Amino acid sequence: MPPNLQSLILKIHIADHNMPDSCIWTFTNDGSFSTAFAREITKDKKNKMTLLSISGTKMASICNCCANPQNETADHVFMKGEVAEKIWRFFANPVAIKIQRGSMNQLMWSWWATERSNALHKTICSILPMYINWELWKRRGASRYGQKSYSINNIIYHVNFQVKILLYKHFTQVKLHLAWKDICVLADNYSAPVSCFPVYWSKPQGLQVKINTDGSSIKEKKKAGAGGIIRDHEGRMILAFTQSIGYCSNNEAEIKAAQIGLYYCSTLGLKNVILEMDSKLIVDMIIEIRKPSWKFQHKIEGIQSRLNMLEGVAHHCYREANSVVDILSKEGSVKGLNGVFQAPRHLPRTAIGAYRLDKCGMANFRITKKKVGIG
């Protein structure tokens, strides 16, 4: 083997030799084996038996939904039969979904893949097909086994009522007395409730120092950057940095920024360090609320070890309280800037204003839309 390849291989970190080996299930993020997931990826869905025949395959039974009964297939019962066609068109037309002749899969996809303008529209397009299919199946069963048959108006009423009940629980603007067309008009004009509250960067206490870090990744440009700033209990800057780190995911950029920031804290001999980040996912990994992905485990353990050496802790903050390093990380990802700054006047111009506002205790305002909808 060539010497240059030998040196490259020897540099690859495999694991801590003092720790026992462990198995990693690469199909899951945390590396844990899951029998449910194993069963899901090994079962052959093509051979799965269904109660109804595949589209185009004739069965012994005929439908009871058409004036001229035809062979009963899944596509016919749920889509192409006279009753099914009228039901789908009744609900699809007001939401501007075009019903095209094709397979059942194409019909469902036309609902689920349609462009959603807001949370109410998204919820309607997600749940309505399932309610329609359920009511069509109930009608088929009732008619098949001698019970009273559902009329088209009866199916429309049941679907409409069930959908309104569900929407009413999640969207206060939806009232039970509204007709279907009125709900669709409401969905076109719906806007989610907005909340607004002030967010402050908080100074560390006593002899503590605080380092804020942030990572930025731009997929389109294949660039990533890291930024950080260390400040004392009066909000004065001790050191700041911005660095271009090639290209990686946003989570990897966040981890890299924390690693660089803690390295500078260690180099400066600082203690009682507060690591503050706006990525709750990474913070939860560091403080062991969430198990890290096996891809990040070694890096997270390195951050934990460094924090212990610095007698530090990790905290989460809102993005609005992390505005200085948000700017610094973008300087690295967008402009490819690399630099270490030891005085505020040396900071990039765009970051100086944010630094001064933080030091003065000025608020940034966090504006968020209230999360509504199903799931």
Lowest pLDDT segment from 165-179, 248-262, 316-330: 165-179
pLDDT per position as a tens digit, 330-366 = 999 999 999 999 999 999 999 999 999 999 999 999 9
- Looking at the domain covering 199-369, what would its CATH class be? alpha beta
Query: What integer pLDDT is reported at residue 42 of this predicted model?
Result: 61
Neighbours of 171 (CB within 10 A): 21
Percent of the chain at pLDDT exceeding 70: 89
Q: Does residue 10 surpass a pLDDT of 90?
A: no
Max Cα–Cα distance, the chain, nearest Å? 87
Q: Does residue 282 surpass a pLDDT of 50?
A: yes
Query: What would the DSSP string read from start to end of 156-221?
Result: HHHHHHHHHHHHHHH-TT--TT--HHHHHHHHHT----EEEEEE-PPPPPTT-EEEEEEEEEETTT
Q: What Cα–Cα distance (Å) separates residue 36 from each residue in 231, 294, 341?
A: 48, 20, 51
State the average pLDDT over residues 239-255. 95
| Token pair recorded at residue 87 | 């039901």
- Model confidence band, residue 14 (pLDDT cutoffs 50, 70, 90): low
Query: What integer pLDDT is reported at residue 56 of this predicted model?
Result: 47
State the average pLDDT over residues 4-16. 73
State the average pLDDT over residues 144-155. 77
Query: What integer pLDDT is reported at residue 244 of this predicted model?
Result: 96
pLDDT per position as a tens digit, 286-319 = 999 999 988 899 999 999 999 999 999 999 999 9
Average pLDDT of the chain to the nearest whole number: 85
Query: What integer pLDDT is reported at residue 57 of this predicted model?
Result: 46
Spans of all domains in the chain: 73-191, 199-369
pLDDT per position as a tens digit, 77-104 = 888 888 888 999 899 888 878 777 778 8
Q: Compute the distance between CA of residue 252 and CA of residue 214 in angstroms, rounded to an integer.
A: 11
Q: Does residue 274 surpass a pLDDT of 70?
A: yes
φ and ψ at residue 331, rounded to 5 degrees: -60, -35
Q: Pick 20 or 206 by higher pLDDT.
A: 206
Residue type, 123: T
Query: What integer pLDDT is reported at residue 371 of this predicted model?
Result: 60
Lowest pLDDT segment from 184-193, 203-212, 304-313: 184-193
3-state secondary structure of 149: coil
